[in-house]
Structures are given as structure tokens and as C-alpha cells.
Amino acid sequence: MTQASTSSKNSLISILLLAVLSIIWGSSFILMKKAMFDEVGMPIYSAEQVASLRIFIASLCLLPFAVPHLKLLRSKYAPFMLISGLIGTTIPAFLFTEAQQVIDSALAGMLNSLTPLFTFILGVTIFRVSFDKRGLLGVLIGLVGAAGLVFYNNNGPLSLSSHALLIVLATSFYGISINTVKTYLSDIPSLTISALSLVMVSPMTGIYAWASGAFTVMTHHESGLQGLAYISTLALFSTAVGLLLFNQLIKRESALFSSSVTYFIPITAILWGLMDGESLQVMQFLFIGLILLGVWIVNRIRYRV
């Protein structure tokens, strides 16, 4: 096989990974919503219960893959795996469910598009990667779009949405995790990173789920098992499988290219939201357009992670 054909094959695999991840993660917002509320909008699981159960179930799914590599938890890689599990997965899971008690799943998917911008900003400021100053234009455009989504109000003058800011914070945590995996864990197989990072946080999430009454909801709430089905789907695909595929993508490509999956996540999230009866305004599409334009500009520059 020639070098050109090998490169083409690798690019195709990376694009396929992006496509699959965009569908998996784009569907996660509606799954979180369905786990928290039934068909008439009545609460099932709390935001904290959904988040803790999601991570705990995902860690159980990956536990068999973690056991053969537990010795790595005593190595120099352990702190970086903890960052991946805690900052890159667990805390954002809580932030997203907390936010989606108030904001629509489609809007959550839109704001998730900030991830590549934070990957760029944090990569330059904290991880000391090289960059082209023209990329700052993309960052500024993207941040204007994000500010518009955070402050836009359908019913009147602009007002600050603290719940939208929770998602902005989550995307900044994603940026830290992506750069960490790319910089410090490039020698570790993606499945091992995914499994160990979740196993490290599983005790705290399992205890939290139990203490918050999540297991009581399963057995006593009339929609408890239905909500659990949504959480389990979220845990298996959006967290366990999604994290595995994403870590594989990070190892194949640059951190910035990998974070570009958020180009496509809003499309899936918006489609699910519209099918679930959510409404979107023209201004919101304008703001998401600005975010994606900013991400596109940042991706066009020469940026190596």
C-alpha cells in the first residue's frame, strides 16, 4: 500500500469517527432530558442522579477493560487519567444535566460547539502549543456567538442565563481534558485511558447516586425504569463508547481536529429537539452560525497540538 493510499485511508477513518461521534453525542442531550422528565414534563430523576448514574454505569461497562491495566494507576500517568475522568467526563456530566433543567436540549447542543475554541485557547495559554495569531479572529467571532446564545431571550430584552453559562464552563473543562490526553497520554491505548479514567471516578459517583436516592427512584417511581433505560443508553453510548472513540480520534489527529466533532453535534441535537417539540428562533441560528464560523477559522490556521 502506498503512502498516499494509507494517508487517505487514515483520513477516512478519522472522518468516520467524527460522524459516529456527532450522532452519539448529539443524541446525548435529548437522552438527558428524557431521563429527567416524563412525557408530560413531570420530574423522574434529578439532574445529579442522572449524572452520577450515567458515569457509574459507564464505568461498570468499561471495568473489564480496566482490570488488566490497574497497575497504571500507580504510574506517572495516573494524575492525567484522573483529569480525563473527573474534569473531562464527570464534572461536565453534572453541569449539563443541571443546565438542561432549564434550557432546551437543542440549545445545549449549540453551546457545546464552544469546545474547539476552548481547546485552542487553553492549548495556547496553558499547554504552550504554537499558533497563528490569525486564529484569534476565530476565537473572538466564536465567543460573540456564544455570548449571544447565553444572553438571548425569546421573550424580551437580553438577560444572562446562568444555566447556559454552566455549559460554557463544561466546554472549557473539555478543552483541558482534550489537551491533557493529547499531551500526556499519547502513549496509552485509547481503550485503557477511557476505562481507567472512569474507574477512578466510579466510587465517588456510585456513592453519590446511592446517597441522592437514585436507586429508590428506580424501584418506587412509576417512570423509574423508563428513565433508567435512557440513563443506561446515555452511559453506554454517549459516555463509554463515545469516550473510547474520542480518545482514539485524539490519538490519531490533533486535539483541535478532534474537538471539531462539535461542528456536527448541534445538527443532531437540534433535530432531536425539534422532533421533541422544542422551538428555536432565527437569532439562535445566527449565533450558532457565528460559533461555527469561529471554529472553522481556528481550524484553518496552522495549529499543532
Q: What is the pLDDT of residues 227-249, one digit of tens each?
A: 999 999 999 999 999 988 888 88
At residue 75, what are phi and psi to the nearest 5 degrees? Answer: -105, 180
Three cell numbers, residue 92 = 461536565
And the C-alpha cell for 208? 453519590
Q: What is the pLDDT of residue 155?
A: 57
pTM for this predicted structure: 0.86
Is the CB of residue 104 less than 8 Å from the CB of residue 273? yes
Are 243 and 89 contacting, i.e. CB atoms less than 8 angstroms apart? Answer: yes
Flag whether pLDDT at 302 surpasses 90.
no
pLDDT at 205: 97
For residue 210, what is its C-alpha cell? Answer: 446511592
Q: Which of 199, 114, 176 is nearest to 148 (CA)?
A: 114
Of 291, 251, 275, 85, nearest to 174 (Cα)?
85
Helix (H) or strand (E) holding 200: helix 190-211
- Count Cβ atoms below 10 Å from residue 37 Cβ, excluding itself: 17
Is the confidence at residue 304, as pLDDT, over 60? no
Residue 16's CB: how many other CB atoms inside 10 A? 12
* 3 alpha carbon, distance to own chain's centre: 34
pLDDT at 3 over 50: yes
pLDDT in tens, 111-120: 888 888 888 8
